[in-house]
Structure 1
Amino acid sequence: MNVSVIGCGYLGAVHAAAMAELGHTVVGIDIDERKIAELSAGRPPFFEPRLGELLSSAIASGRLRFSTDPAEAAGAEVHFLAVGTPQQARSDAADLRYVDAAFDALLPHLAPGAIVVGKSTVPVGTAAGLAERLARRAPHASLAWNPEFLREGFAVQDTLEPDRLVYGVAGGEHDERGRAQAAVLDRVYRAAVEAGTPRIVTDYATAELVKVSANAFLATKISFINAMSEIADVTGADVTALADAIGHDARIGRRFLNAGVGFGGGCLPKDIRGFVARAEELGRGEALAFLREVDAVNLRQRQRVVDLAVEALGGQVHERRIAILGVTFKPDSDDVRDSPALDVAVALKGLGAEVVATDPEGIANARMRHPQLDYTSSTAEALRGADLVVLVTEWREFRALDPVTAGELVAGRSIIDGRNVLDAARWREAGWTYRGIGRP
């Protein structure tokens, strides 16, 4: 099929490359000239495993191209709207200016029968409003909503082999127009449909709620185990063993029950805040009031790691050298948006510590946000002479550190495992003072 992707940030660039990999002819549109130049050269403007190879292959095949001109999208049968919806500067609500601008720019170029397919995470009710505008200004086209469920670090796999497909269509699954839209989306995702991927066809509002509800549930699960880690700290319990035990209950499950410094990134924090803000606009704020505590627990974890660092240094932080392992919000990404790791580093720097941070992919982005920190691409250099080591992003190379070798580099064998991913017994046997989150 002929496909356009409007917005070539993280979501859009991955989606455009994956659509071309699936055999569609794709044009990616974005107003950022630098970004389009990079993508056109086959260079992702951010780190995501496998994306560079996918871009190069798709561009070389002639199935993928990029442009800053919305008119280049004319003639596409399906237009994916994949622009960002950041948190507003003075509010918890989502900023829809980019969605509105992209939508308006696309309207003059919609061919008869074309479908605009929203992929952006938006407040519930947004799709219905856009559908009304489309009916007034381009009645020959229609709107569907197809939320994304990408995990940074696995985004290519999640697009090519999704764990489910959700279609929010006009009138819902029992409406003739909706069934026609679903049939078109089935052509787009033919490989996944033929592979038996679960497929949910529903209305606009439900499709919008699926994404934010999923993120809210995951955030709640993470904050729940972090709240339990606070109780474990004061009782001597082991939150990791606790998570293992309750995770055997099929109704609960073990995934996302890992206590630590908490979640971050460009999605979960802003999505749960935006969800609460939208509920309040709808007069149902009390229904999601608990998400404010979920957010508070999450933010409190960052301070807990800082407090552990101060305690580990005997309260004397000024001019002590601290190695920070990780600055991105998660491994296999260069994303430092709302990164717990970076917040910990900045807080310790603010207390007068000599902070040296290292990360396999995130240093350039971290330096742009916080140039006051010292950075090194070498883990050994970060460790050398450190009075304290703080692991805050669970990159594979940090999890695989040898405590004996690391111990020969540092000035003081003291480590805080902000992700509870290290073997505490092994590190202690090597002479380290080990501190985890909610672990005795």
Structure 2
Amino acid sequence: MQTEPRLAGHPAAPGISRRRFLSGALAAFAAPCIVPSSVLGAPNRAAPSERIRIGIVGMGSRGNDHLGAFLGRGNVQVMAVCDPYRGKREGAKRNVEQRYASEIGAGTYEGCAAYADFRELVTRDDIDAVSIASPEYWHALHSTWALRNGKDVYQEKAMTLTVAEGRALIESVRRHQRVFQLGTQQRSDGNFRHACELARNGYLGRLHTVKVAVPGGRALGVAQPKPAPPEIDYEMWLGPAPWRPFNDQLCSFNWYFIHDFCIGWIGSWGVHHIDIALWGAPVLAEKPIEIEGSAVFPKEGQADTSIAWKVNVVSSDGLRLYFTDDAAQPHGARFEGDKGWVHVVRGGIQAEPASLLKLNFAPNDERLYVSNDHIGNFLDCIRSRRDPVAPVEAGHRATTLTILSDIATRTRRKLAWDWKAERFQDDDTANAMLARPMRSPWTL
């Protein structure tokens, strides 16, 4: 019995309707600087009427991964890129145009715009979907703007910086009837799916424990304020985050470890395996839970997210989740029952008894959504208007549990969480940590 996918109830995608395709093809001939007519006959690319037109926001390392994935698909046309760093956006634009020029055997290709301001990209009528790989404090705003402008969204994890933002993003996806895929790509891996199906169908016996471990965080040294370089629009980079002077540690990988921008690896890495934990043991996000934790934080410097942590979660029916950094227990997601266990990581899966790895599921077993290509699944769902394998609600639940874990390590006391109300019981201090103000003029 397969319980996913659910039908999203979306109307036909306006960006790829047949009429829109045909008008887009005509526009391509009328405005070759946007979609040059010479590219339409490239042998390894779909006809213009069959292409999904993509814009990418955030051209750091992950954004360039997205770019490479989309450029390798003949049914996609990358129309625009965006980053407040001039060098990053211009480099991405150059990569797109060189790739397409090479495919059509032309000396040059001009058809990819580069923006510093994401609003210029998401409001374009000739873009069907937006891929978002910006820092996490931007996720809710970037996605919400895209959704309001009729775009389907592929967004990197973690889904949002706060629980309140996650709830708002769910409402926006459903109100605007858009396809939303979170970049928790382990759902498109057969090993993770198999582990979760073993747990859900009782092949481990009575499930009593789930264990999750991911890489710990890091400290940063002290950095001195300095003027932002002219090639970055620093105000746009900061966006809704609290203002702070520029320094050499900002606007790079280090933002992961600064709490104004991200809750650290407890969230940004943790959401991957926590998502699998909830996929295999959904009761952890359905029934009330108690959560408590402790963590080690940097003693100096700009980083203020956890380096190491231990979090214990107990659901009202007694199921336990142990969530730590991977110095405390083996990396991955592990399900333990009274008849066996399964432990899964990227690239590997183990079980006891080992026969579980070759088990053939029964016809009436609960089967999970099958996807073996995360971005491909997103593109398929743009056409079918079905929910993808990592829909917004699942992303919110997994992200929320990592945020609760962070809050537990900071309050250092046992907290009682109600999933239906999305509130802690009788704890105003902890509840105040579920939302954050955005710096003016930014609002959801």
Based on CA coordinates, which of the two structures has the bigger radius of gyration? 1
Same fold (TM over 0.5): no
Q: Compute the TM-score of the two structures, normalised by the length of structure 1.
A: 0.30
Normalized per residue, which structure has more strand?
A: 2
Structure with the bigger RCO (C-alpha within 8 Å, sep 6+) is 2
Higher helix share: 1
